[in-house]
Amino acid sequence: MSGSGILLDVKGLRVSFSTPRGKVRAVSDASFSVRRGEVTGIVGESGSGKSVSAYAVLGLLAGNGRVEAGSAVFCGRDLLALGEKELRSVRGNEISMVFQDPMTALDPLFTVGSFLTEVLRSHSPQTGRKEAWKKSVEMLSVMGIRDPEDVMRRCPDSLSGGMCQRVMIAAALLCDPQLLIADEPTTALDVTIQEEILSLIQKLKEERGMSVLFITHDLGVVARLCDRVSVMYGGFVMESCSVDQVYSGAVHPYTKALLSAIPRLDDRGEEPLAALEGEPIDPVHLPEGCVFAPRCRYCFEDCLKTRPETFDLGDGHSAACHLLKKGGKADV
């Protein structure tokens, strides 16, 4: 699956945290990729290892965290093998990240203008103050902000959550990154603002050819925005495919359970939420077999004994489920 079209290729990522409770296996086997000009979604419920995967790739893990295995090739370099200094340069210039809560990411003491011009000047120190101001104003306009000069003079506490998130996305794009990683950027915002931010990211993709890794717990959001999706559960990627495939031919019982949880206008109420009953796994005590087995209504003997391998279903579609062993698609 390698090729010039792939901008970020993460393979076999394994990340753990040492804690007083024991070793937390946050990510056990995650592989996903982002192609140039496309949006890849990582979807899964809370605690499935989405954020940790992104943080690991950028070298931003907490002090008790460790990458145990895997590679994350970005423009020919394995990010997991880079030193801190090189990684910092990648983060400032080539990959930008936007986080869930824009309010906490902005310093309340600084105006938007001083924040943005500082971001720009630390990225390209030769930029003069006036020019940095002008470029920041322009970027705020690109974000759909109607009175950017006014917003530049304000402090974050006088702005709405949606406005703060636009400012954060503007900051992320000021250094013209090749890849934007957005970790649940709309989760803390109310529904109408969510919609606006999603439209904004859609526009950035279409007009600027932005490549985006978009993390969300909401498969409905994936449908709106993404070209491809990797579904995570318990630190494993369960299924990866195009967005069309996820709706027309998802094979993993967990993906199907997520799909059935999306409210739809044409909902005929056929698939109940039964597969999502039960507790998420405890990452300190991973089950021996498939991590989803304890909640899977199709679980059989093998599922409790061994981890399923990832089956290549062709056409960029893969899934890790014992039901696929007999070849073809499982009838789930």
Point out which residues bind Mg ion (CB under 5 A).
51
Least CB distance to Mg ion at residue 317 (A): 25
Q: Specify the residue for token string 């399923």.
A: 308
**Does 51 interact with ligand ADP (rule: CB under 6 A)?**
yes
Query: CB-wise, 49 or 289, nearer to ligand ADP?
Result: 49
| φ, ψ of residue 2 in degrees (nearest 5) | -80, 165
Q: Specify the residue for token string 């794009």.
A: 173
Query: CB-wise, 174 or 231, nearer to ligand ADP?
Result: 231
Residues in region 269-298 near ligand ADP by CB under 6 A? 283
Least CB distance to ligand ADP at residue 317 (A): 22
Where helices occur in the chain by DSSP H, the ranges are 50-57, 84-93, 102-105, 112-123, 129-142, 148-152, 161-174, 191-208, 219-225, 243-249, 253-260, 301-305
**From Mg ion, ligand ADP, none, interface partner of 17 (C-beta below 5 to 8 A by class):** ligand ADP
Closest CA to 254 of 234, 270, 282: 234
Query: CB-wise, 238 or 313, nearer to Mg ion?
Result: 238
Tokens found for residue 251: 């094979």
**Contact, 172 vs 98, CB < 8 A?**
yes
Three-state SS for 94? coil
Q: How far apart, in whole angstroms, are the C-alpha atoms of residue 121 and residue 99?
A: 22
Closest CA to 183 of 161, 200, 204, 168: 168
Q: How far apart, in whole angstroms, are the C-alpha atoms of residue 84 and residue 87?
A: 5
Least CB distance to ligand ADP at residue 17 (A): 3
**From ligand ADP, Mg ion, none, interface partner of 26 (C-beta below 5 to 8 A by class):** ligand ADP
Query: CB-wise, 32 or 115, nearer to ligand ADP?
Result: 32
Query: CB-wise, 105 or 155, nearer to ligand ADP?
Result: 105
Amino acid at 36: R
Using CB under 6 A, pick the residue from 38, 40, 49, 102 that binds ligand ADP: 49
Site string for ligand ADP, 9-48 (x = CB under 6 A): --------x-x----x-x-----------------x-xxx
Query: CB-wise, 98 or 142, nearer to ligand ADP?
Result: 98
Using CB under 6 A, pick the residue from 30, 41, 50, 230 that binds ligand ADP: 50
**From ligand ADP, Mg ion, none, interface partner of 47 (C-beta below 5 to 8 A by class):** ligand ADP
* Cβ burial, residue 161 (10 Å; 0-12/13-18/19+): middle
| φ, ψ of residue 19 in degrees (nearest 5) | -135, 165
Query: CB-wise, 48 or 230, nearer to ligand ADP?
Result: 48
Q: For 182, which DSSP code? A: E
**From Mg ion, ligand ADP, none, interface partner of 283 (C-beta below 5 to 8 A by class):** ligand ADP
Closest CA to 52 of 79, 73, 25: 25
**From ligand ADP, Mg ion, none, interface partner of 258 (C-beta below 5 to 8 A by class):** none
Amino acid at 18: S
**Contact, 302 vs 289, CB < 8 A?**
yes
Nearest position to Mg ion, beta carbon: 51
Query: CB-wise, 24 or 143, nearer to ligand ADP?
Result: 24
Tokens found for residue 171: 């900051």
**From Mg ion, ligand ADP, none, interface partner of 64 (C-beta below 5 to 8 A by class):** ligand ADP
Using CB under 6 A, pick the residue from 1, 12, 22, 64 that binds ligand ADP: 64
The residues that touch ligand ADP, with contacts defined as CB under 6 A, are 17, 19, 24, 26, 44, 46-52, 62, 64-65, 283
